Amino acid sequence: MAGAVFSRLAHKIASIEGPVFPLHVGDTWLPPFDAGRMENLRYEDWQGIHKYTSPQGMPALVDAIVDKVRDQNGIPAERAGVLCTAGTTGGLAAAVGMLAAPGEEVMILAPHWPLIRGIVESFRAVPVLVPFYDRVDSLEAAVAAVRACITERTVALYVSTPSNPTGVVVPPPWLQALAELCRSQDLWLLSDEVYEHHAYRGEHASIGSFAPERSLSAFSFSKAYGMAGNRTGYLVGPPAAIAQCRKISTHTFYSAPTSGQIAGLRALQSGDSWLAESRRVYQQAGDRAAQILGEPPPAGSTFLFLDVADRLDERGIFGFLEDCLDDGLVMAPGPSFGRGHYDSYVRLCYTSAPPDHVAEGCRRLARRLGR
């Protein structure tokens, strides 16, 4: 599983002297808006804050999620089609655990979020990588790339837009065509929309709006509202499927944390202006990072994904990343995003630290890359 790849350099990271640029973690540096902070979730107002909720989640949050995905994602959700989850990780794990039997195949558009591979493997299913975001340049090519990977054992397609790690925002017509392909083959769609609010160029669309009957769409409060530590997100899909997903979630994490659910409810109720401002700050940070590195400005998400093949020696990408640690610069290795396909890439997150700090890290990287 992918986790191990990150840890190879951990001992050396711990011993860095001087400033550290932690651009390897996919996190956001801004603290949440005031009403969403733990210290402002008062026991007096929420006497159940330390107690269980139902495994589905707090009714008030479920209601707010129904409204949000109907209004903003065009998904015809109903209450029974919502499951509050331990982040998007928990939501996608519940979905994969529900739909994939051991040995069945889940297609993953690549380069991909590192954890999706291990999620599929945790339930003894087989991840099948579809190289996509870095090379598909038309609707026809998108459909052909996916179609070529379908076998008799395929049960689902995992789509992430805006994409971690490439920042690609998949055009809505492509999503519609992929949804139709999956409908014609009777496949599930797993939609990862963690970065739905971070599409800076191009329009974010939910593939679940094109094929709601076969889509399990995972969302999160983590990145949009600065709450990754709260471990709270949600999964939306057909009620009968969500009822089956709930069996997996109940038996792997029981429920999303109650305090995280309350914070998520407040995010949906009153987080809009904070979200708009943080989005502006993050886009600016991404544009600045790209400019320093001589890359095109990112279309979405919070990452740049760079091919550094011309700077590698016989030690490969891990040797390069080790050298970068001499500059205090920590980045994620390409193989985590698709082993064998992206071994000469690095990913950096431009929202994991304040913009000036990220910019300084990017300047150090640019020098190293001769850009």
SS3 334: helix
Q: With respect to a second copy, which residue has the nearer C-beta, 81 or 257?
A: 257
Is 13 a binding residue for a second copy by CB under 8 A? The answer is no
Give phi and psi for 33, each to the nearest 5: -60, 155
Is 278 a binding residue for a second copy by CB under 8 A? The answer is no
**Do strands 105-110 and 345-349 pair parallel, antiparallel, or not at all (unpaired)?**
unpaired
Give phi and psi for 135, each to the nearest 5: -140, -20
Q: With respect to a second copy, which residue has the nearer C-beta, 87 or 300?
A: 87
Is 89 a binding residue for a second copy by CB under 8 A? The answer is yes
Residue 303 near residue 168 (C-beta atoms within 8 A): no
Is 37 a binding residue for a second copy by CB under 8 A? The answer is yes
Binding mask 209-248 for a second copy (x = CB under 8 A): -----------------xxxxxxx-------------xxx
Is 3 a binding residue for a second copy by CB under 8 A? The answer is yes
Is 102 a binding residue for a second copy by CB under 8 A? The answer is yes
Q: With respect to a second copy, which residue has the nearer C-beta, 226 or 338?
A: 226
The minimum distance between CB 108 and a second copy, in angstroms, equals: 13
Is 90 a binding residue for a second copy by CB under 8 A? The answer is yes
Residue 175 near residue 146 (C-beta atoms within 8 A): no
**Do strands 154-160 and 126-131 pair parallel, antiparallel, or not at all (unpaired)?**
unpaired
**Strands of 243-307, DSSP E:** 303-307
Q: How far apart are CA 334 and CA 274, in angstroms?
A: 32
Q: How far apart are CA 110 and CA 90, in angstroms?
A: 21
Is 319 a binding residue for a second copy by CB under 8 A? The answer is no
Residue 104 region, left (φ>0) first, then alpha (ψ -120 to 50), else beta? beta
Is 51 a binding residue for a second copy by CB under 8 A? The answer is yes
* Interface residue list for a second copy (CB under 8 A): 1, 3, 25, 27, 31-32, 37-43, 47-53, 55, 86-87, 89-90, 93, 97, 101-102, 115, 118-119, 121-124, 226-232, 246-248, 250-260
